[in-house]
Amino acid sequence: MGKLLRTAITKQKQFYIYKLLQTGLFPDASVLQQWTVRELRHEYEQHPLQKNRGGQRNGSESF
């Protein structure tokens, strides 16, 4: 795997781990670090409180 791709995957995992820790459902990052990016993303998507609010999803703005 190329260095650039590895760096991108690592950053993506760090993002999802950080967001999942903010939910308070996971007290320790060590368990989450063992998960794949797919598993982390799936769990993140199960908790809508961490997503964009106020109709600003996917770049659309509400006026």
The per-residue pLDDT for 49 is: 60
Which residue type occupies 60?
S
CB 16 within 8 A of CB 40: yes
pLDDT digits (tens, 9 = 90+) for 7-63: 999 999 999 999 999 988 998 999 999 999 999 999 999 987 644 544 444 444 443
- Condensed to tens digits (0 to 9), the pLDDT of residues 26-41 reads 989 999 999 999 999 9
pLDDT value at position 55?
44
Taking every pair of Cα atoms in the chain, the longest distance, rounded to a whole number of angstroms, is: 44
Position 30 scores a pLDDT of: 93
